[in-house]
Amino acid sequence: MNCINNVVIIRYGEIALKGKYVRNRHEKTLILNIKSMLNTCGIKYEDIFRDWGRIYIKTADPRAIEAVVKVFGIVSASPAVTCEPTLESAASVSAEIGRDLIKEHESFAIRPRRSGKHSFSSQEIGVACGNVVFEHIKDKNPRVDLTSPDKEIFIEIRQNHGFVFTDIVYGMGGLPLGTQGRMVALVSGGIDSPVAAWLMMKRGCEIIPVYINNQPYSDETSRYKAMECIKVLQSWAPERPFTVYEIQDGESLSAFLSNCDSRYTCLLCRRMMYRIAHSIMNKENACGVITGSSLGQVASQTAPNMMAETSGIHLPIYHPLIGFDKTEIVDIARNIGTYEPSVLPGTDCTAVPEKPSTSAKISQIYHEEEKIDIQELLKHALSGVKMVNLL
Amino acid sequence: MNCINNVVIIRYGEIALKGKYVRNRHEKTLILNIKSMLNTCGIKYEDIFRDWGRIYIKTADPRAIEAVVKVFGIVSASPAVTCEPTLESAASVSAEIGRDLIKEHESFAIRPRRSGKHSFSSQEIGVACGNVVFEHIKDKNPRVDLTSPDKEIFIEIRQNHGFVFTDIVYGMGGLPLGTQGRMVALVSGGIDSPVAAWLMMKRGCEIIPVYINNQPYSDETSRYKAMECIKVLQSWAPERPFTVYEIQDGESLSAFLSNCDSRYTCLLCRRMMYRIAHSIMNKENACGVITGSSLGQVASQTAPNMMAETSGIHLPIYHPLIGFDKTEIVDIARNIGTYEPSVLPGTDCTAVPEKPSTSAKISQIYHEEEKIDIQELLKHALSGVKMVNLL
């Protein structure tokens, strides 16, 4: 009998809470995204189909599970063996699986589940299959323990299919990428901004990464780190190639350094970044700008400064990390693969003043900006836009 | 020999990464907040003092640990027994503690740590104390296991003090409340908005809770739930009594329902909420407005709608939950105590249309608002402001 996993069961969470129309649309997008991920990873499959509350991929490729749990919207997945939707078939497959799974003297439990119309209850699946497994591996002296077993065998009997599996691999949750509009994501190559962009992708947003190049105040290493982080983010959005913008904005920094109070350099620089991002957002018909700001993490990220950063600029701005601790951000960065590129050796921006203002007044910022021609600097920066090819 | 825990060791994380000046200020605020929490919980203490990277509370009250881990900025805390900063004293206290802690046939490990100048190394603390503990409980047939012991005894010998402890209780992390400015927090009594406010408190922000009362389109249960949630939030900010605003805004809703396209009711209502919040923010000299919005959670929380919500209103707005899944929000709500009040039975807002727009155009919103006198409605709402006494 063939007990090779031949299907991947996919479970999703928040999508199932939606109304019929939205749910149907989200499920379709999710299937599209699963196909893209499998294609990109070179994983062959026979079919992908939906059944109430589940998606199934017909594939025997063991790499499929690792690939699909990277697809946003998936809560968990299990490689499984299919069987007929009968007690006999489920029991016989479970027995085969049990023989490999359960070692000498180990305890086990059957975790049964049922949907559709059947002549047996969930409990009856558990008893019938448990008995058959027990008899089949009696020589190993097994024990049944439903509370804290060494091994578990999950059996799902649905209307037209049955499944037996032993593993539940957790996914990232969220919503299917592409269901929640598009946003510009400012990516600097530090630890935070890629995590912020990723969190919005997890919630279904497509992103348009923007890297603001401050050369000669930053160097090629910063640019390299940012692009490597963007490549990692791209791996979470297979077959949806990013449009990546790179903007040279060193001239603005030069203007601030020559003309303005140096305590406000970072703030003036951020305001220029937001103006650039806003302009790209409008051009791309996107819905917002994502930043990696979190409150109080660095000297310039105070509440008064953050208020001054956007005053008079008026853009829909999102700071997904605003309530996060640094350790929480680092944990996510490690988990999603952006940590390594973002901590590569690099030079910090050389324009950062020794004593940045921590409680900038908006009137003061306006006063500083009057000393320079902001619109001209913005026009200049935007005229030098480069589209980056990540390959 | 007296082996009752007589001190609580407090560890903090992100504060220790700050420069000298900010660190000193944050540590002082943290100590102030610890004192407030202990006072509010009726916990007596002899002294609170700082030593490099640690805060110590001299108290034998076993409730102290549970109270202090609710103070923002604390990463972990341990109830401990003090000893002299010598091997002999540490060993003798460890032996007493070990006798109670380690059961028959269990394995144990000493986890030594040292700071200051001493004639012994960390490793020597481990060996010396391990031997003494072993001899002292030999009758229990203990084993030493440094990899995965059943029980651990932590010994910290610093310059002038020694400590022995067995538990590390984790705190909430974050930054000390009061170090990051003040923000207006819109609190509705649902699950999300109290969590959003709490996350910003965790990052050090004081909040000014605002409840917008939409009666007759909501009822007394909504108000009750909101106030109960605010009380829970207040318990995280002891001795910093909230200023709670309640605004009657039912008339605005009536105006929207009578004059505007009903698909935009929720959006128009949110815009009015933001105008009210912005006005209170200015009055209170606060730095921003906190909302419980998360992308794609409900039909009206789409990216285009969120863009339309604030267009032309121009306020520093923070959505700490923007990148969260519903399950993640619920987990935090349960953890911080706002879940229970927020799921009490209640009536949903009766003004919510059956088919809210999911992709509102800004021009359409402006068009709808032209049909009514927004400024007059705002003035009316603000004139009926009530300050709520939570007691």
- A144-163: pLDDT as tens digits: 999 999 999 999 999 989 99
Q: How many beta-carbon pairs below 8 A join chains A and B?
A: 127
pLDDT reported for residue A325: 95
A11 φ, ψ (degrees, to nearest 5): -115, 140
In Å, how far is B298's CA from the nearest CA of chain A?
8
Q: How far is A128 from chain B (nearest CA, A)?
A: 35
pLDDT at B43 > cutoff 90 = yes
Average pLDDT over residues A179-195: 96
Average pLDDT score over chain A: 94
- Are B124 and B261 within one domain? no
Question: Residue A306 and residue B288: Cβ atoms within 8 Å?
Answer: yes
Q: In terms of domains, do A99 and A219 share one? A: no
A86-125 residue pLDDT tens = 999 999 999 999 999 999 999 999 999 999 899 999 999 9
Which of the residue ranges B77-81, B152-156, B358-362, B367-371 would you say has the lowest mean pLDDT?
Answer: B358-362
- Quote the pLDDT of residue A301: 85
CATH assignment at residue B368: 3.40.50.620
Kindly state whether residues A36 and A129 are assigned to the same domain.
Answer: yes
| Total domains present in chain A | 2
B203–A322 CB contact, under 8 Å = yes
Three-class DSSP category at B386: strand
In a mutagenesis test of the B interface, which of A25, A76, A322 is the best target, namely the one with the most B β-carbons within 10 Å? A322
User: How high is the pLDDT of residue B3?
Assistant: 80
Instruction: Give dist(CA A4, CA A98) in Å, integer.
Output: 13
Residue B187 domain flag: yes
List phi, psi (to 5°) of B336.
-100, -5
From chain A, the residues in CB contact with B174 under 8 A are: 325
What percentage of residues in chain B have a pLDDT greater than 90?
A: 86
Nearest alpha carbon to residue B338 among B210, B197, B186: B197
Residues B68 and B211 in one domain: no
Domain end position, chosen among B142, B170, B198: B170
Helix (H, G, I), strand (E, B) or coil at B229: helix
Going by C-alpha positions, the residue among B201, B351, B344 that lies closest to residue B273 is: B351
Residue A188: DSSP 8-state: -
Residues A126 and A59 placed together within one structural domain of the fold: yes
A1 has pLDDT over 80: no
Predicted confidence band at B318 (pLDDT cuts at 50, 70, 90)? very high
A363 in the same domain as A226: yes
CATH number of the domain at B35, please: 3.30.2130.30
pLDDT confidence bin for B19, thresholds 50/70/90 = confident
Query: Is A2 domain-assigned?
Result: no
In a domain, B1, yes or no: no
**Is residue A92, in this structure, part of any structural domain at all?**
yes
Mean pLDDT in residue range B176-189: 95
Select the residue of B13, B288, B323 nearest A200 (Cβ to Cβ): B323
Q: Judge whether B45 and B61 are in contact, CB under 8 Å.
A: yes
Q: Are residues B116 and B200 in the same domain?
A: no
pLDDT on residue A370 = 96
DSSP-derived secondary structure for A332-376: HHHHHT-HHHHTSS----TT--SS--SS--HHHHHHHHHTS-HHH
B160 and B223 housed in the same domain: no
Please name the residues in contact with B373: beta carbons below 8 A apart, sequence gap of 6 or more.
none
pLDDT, residue B1, reads: 52
Please tell me whether residues A160 and A84 are part of one structural domain.
Answer: yes
Query: Could you tell me if A290 and A328 lie in one domain?
Result: yes
> What is the structure's pLDDT at A390?
86
Residues A12 and A155 in one domain: yes
Contact criterion met (CB < 8 Å) for A295 and B205: yes
How close A92 comes to chain B (CA, Å)?
37
pTM: 0.94
Per-residue pLDDT at B2: 59
Does residue B176 form part of some domain?
no
Pick B304's closest partner by Cβ from A287, A304, A322: A287
Task: Report chain B's C-alpha Rg in angstroms.
Answer: 27
Number of H helices, E strands in chain A: 13, 15
Is residue A177, in this structure, part of any structural domain at all?
no
B341 shares a domain with B219: yes
Of A142, A170, A198, the last residue of a domain is A170
In this model, does residue B390 exceed pLDDT 90?
no
- CB contacts, 8 Å: B199 with chain A: 322-323
Residue B2 belongs to a domain:
no
Tens of pLDDT, residues A329-345: 999 999 999 999 999 98
Rounded to 5 degrees, φ, ψ at B136 are -65, -25
Domain boundary among B137, B170, B203: B170
Range of the domain at B118: 7-170
Residue A1 lies in a domain: no
Q: Where are the beta strands (DSSP E) in A187-252?
A: 206-213, 244-248
pLDDT digits (tens, 9 = 90+) for B67-119: 999 999 999 999 999 999 999 999 999 999 999 999 999 999 999 999 989 99
CB contact under 8 A, A296 and B196: no
